[in-house]
């Protein structure tokens, strides 16, 4: 693996970082105290991103994107992630980015025209509807309870979903449902595409959460005899779990890229504060204990970046990189938590207050250790690899 980032990618990342600094960070004041960015304000900043040539970095040029490989995305997504609004501004935000990746790989021509191209353009929003309230599917997708029953050429869906991120603004859904028969769990699930206003979809509520109110919320909904045509199937019937894994592998890394941007900005805020704040006759930055905290954060950022780069490189080589993406997801999600915690501690009362963005980021980042696979699930995957390769029994 060559760790040299091509100069054009470095220049692009620098342009994205400057754009976030100049155009996006000033918008953060509009998302305080439970408010979300308005669609009108989002449209304004997205128009600027398109004019600056920064739009949809992960999508192919023929769709209107920049065509970056996943390894090239690493520094660019980090630069966008310096603000929670940055990925939304340049169209590399969750869940739309992951859904675009899935559709670009598996959608047929009609689905690409109806769903993918408007999504890439920024004219539509999407949501991935897989997670269910207990006792349904959460970290274990084989517990899926939402059913899809064949009715002639159509499918009838019934079920209960929640935490469908972006659901408040989504124009369409990608729904995972299991077949209403005796199919094996990993071969009896299918992904379906549907407009969110289709008859049979009941929006119950936006689930309240910790941290900043996300632009599109996290909705709870029910499907009541939702009838979908055969043309709504994404890929082939029974491919649901395989397609979801194709989406989730790269998505774990893009989350790591974006949150690294927030963690880096938090370290910069803490370093600046420590360099100006005096106590006990010298600045905090001159105190050994504070120096150790700053250094530990920088060490963890460096390690996380290298893990992300290596996992992305493996994916580019055609590897599944299941172990490596799991290691990366665990390490980065937990190190981001520690880096934000240290930054708050260093900044003291200012860090705990809402005068700085640290408290908001700390609350919002808590979900990172849960979504796209909880840390415990990824540790189980890593341990399974160890048992399979070094254990005395088959795993």
Q: Which pairs from 352-358 meet CB under 8 Å and 24+ separation? A: 354/32, 356/269, 357/28, 357/269, 358/266, 358/269, 358/270
pLDDT band at 211 (very low <50, low <70, confident <90, very high): confident
The predicted structure's pLDDT at residue 135: 94
Asked if 42 contacts 91 with a C-beta cutoff of 8 angstroms, the reply is no
The residue among 205, 217, 228, 216 whose CA lies nearest residue 146 is: 228
Rounded to the nearest integer, the mean pLDDT of the chain is 95
Mean pLDDT in residue range 91-106: 97
The predicted structure's pLDDT at residue 196: 98
Domains, the chain, ranges and CATH? 7-93 (1.10.540.10), 126-238 (2.40.110.10), 242-390 (1.20.140.10)
Count CB neighbours of 76 within 10 A: 27
Residue 71 CB neighbours (<10 A)? 23
Q: Are 70 and 312 in contact (CB under 8 A)?
A: yes
Q: Which residues neighbour 385 within 8 Å (Cβ) at sequence distance 6 or greater?
A: 322, 323
Q: What is the pTM of this model?
A: 0.95
- Whether 9 contacts 72, CB under 8 Å: yes
DSSP assignment letter at 198: S
The tens digit of pLDDT for each residue in 296-345 reads 999 999 999 999 999 999 999 999 999 999 999 999 999 999 999 999 99
Identify the band that residue 187 occupies on the pLDDT scale cut at 50, 70 and 90.
Answer: confident
Out of 88-92, 180-184, 385-389, which region has the weakest mean confidence (pLDDT)?
180-184
Q: How confident is the model at residue 33 (pLDDT cuts 50, 70, 90)?
A: confident
85 neighbors 37 (Cβ within 8 angstroms): yes
Environment class of 143 (CB within 10 Å of its CB; exposed 0-12, middle 13-18, buried 19+): middle
Provide the 10 A C-beta neighbour count for residue 363. 14
Confidence tier at 395 by pLDDT (50, 70, 90): low
Please report, for residues 31, 113, 337, 373, the alpha-carbon distance to residue 216 in angstroms, rounded to integers and kept in the order given: 13, 23, 23, 21
Distance between CA atoms of residues 250 and 260, nearest Å: 15
- H and E: helices and strands count for the chain: 12, 10
Residue listed under structure tokens 């595409």: 193
pLDDT at residue 394 is higher than 60: no
Evaluate if residue 184 carries a pLDDT over 80. Answer: no
pLDDT 10s digits, 36-67: 999 999 999 999 999 999 999 999 999 999 99
Q: What is the pLDDT of residues 370-393, one digit of tens each?
A: 999 999 999 999 999 999 999 876
pLDDT category at 139 given cuts 50, 70, 90 is confident
Span 243-271, mean pLDDT? 94
Given a contact cutoff of 8 angstroms between Cβ atoms, the answer to whether 98 and 254 are in contact is yes
Stronger pLDDT, 394 or 366, i.e. the higher one: 366
Q: What is the full DSSP assignment across 20-69?
A: IIIIIGGGGGGG-TT----HHHHHHHHHHHHHTT-S-TTS-GGGTS----
């Amino acid at each position: 693996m060559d760790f040299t980032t091509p100069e054009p990618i470095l220049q692009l990342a620098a342009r994205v970082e400057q754009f976030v600094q100049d155009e996006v960070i000033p918008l953060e004041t509009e998302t305080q105290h439970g408010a979300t960015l308005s669609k009108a304000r989002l449209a304004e900043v997205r128009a600027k991103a398109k004019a600056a040539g920064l739009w949809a970095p992960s999508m192919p040029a023929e769709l209107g994107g920049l065509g970056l490989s996943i390894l090239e995305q690493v520094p660019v997504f980090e630069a966008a992630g310096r603000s929670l609004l940055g990925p939304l501004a340049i169209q590399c935000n969750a869940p739309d980015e992951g859904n675009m990746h899935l559709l670009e790989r598996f959608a047929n021509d009609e689905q690409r025209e109806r769903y993918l191209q408007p999504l890439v353009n920024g004219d539509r929003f999407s949501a991935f509807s897989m997670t269910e309230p207990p006792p349904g599917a959460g970290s274990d997708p084989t517990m899926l309870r939402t059913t899809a029953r064949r009715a002639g050429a159509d499918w009838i869906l019934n079920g209960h979903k929640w935490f469908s991120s972006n659901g408040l603004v989504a124009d369409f859904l990608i729904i995972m449902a299991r077949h209403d028969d005796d199919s094996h769990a990993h071969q009896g699930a299918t992904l379906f595409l549907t407009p969110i206003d289709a008859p049979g979809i009941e929006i119950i509520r936006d689930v309240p959460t910790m941290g900043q109110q996300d632009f599109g919320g996290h909705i709870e909904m029910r499907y009541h005899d939702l009838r979908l045509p055969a043309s709504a199937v994404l890929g082939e019937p029974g491919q649901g779990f395989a397609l979801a894994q194709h989406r989730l592998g790269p998505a774990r890394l893009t989350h790591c890229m974006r949150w690294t941007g927030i963690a880096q900005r938090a370290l910069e805020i803490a370093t600046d504060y420590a360099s100006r704040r005096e106590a006990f006759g010298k600045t905090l930055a001159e105190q050994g204990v504070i120096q150790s905290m700053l250094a530990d954060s920088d060490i963890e950022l460096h390690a996380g970046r290298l893990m992300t780069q290596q996992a992305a490189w493996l994916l580019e080589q055609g590897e599944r990189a299941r172990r490596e993406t799991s290691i990366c997801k665990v390490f980065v999600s937990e190190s981001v938590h520690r880096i934000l915690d240290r930054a708050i501690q260093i900044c003291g009362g200012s860090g705990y207050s809402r005068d700085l963005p640290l408290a908001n980021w700390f609350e919002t980042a808590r979900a990172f250790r849960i979504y796209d696979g909880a840390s415990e699930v990824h540790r189980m995957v890593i341990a399974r690899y160890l048992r399979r390769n070094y254990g005395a029994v088959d795993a």
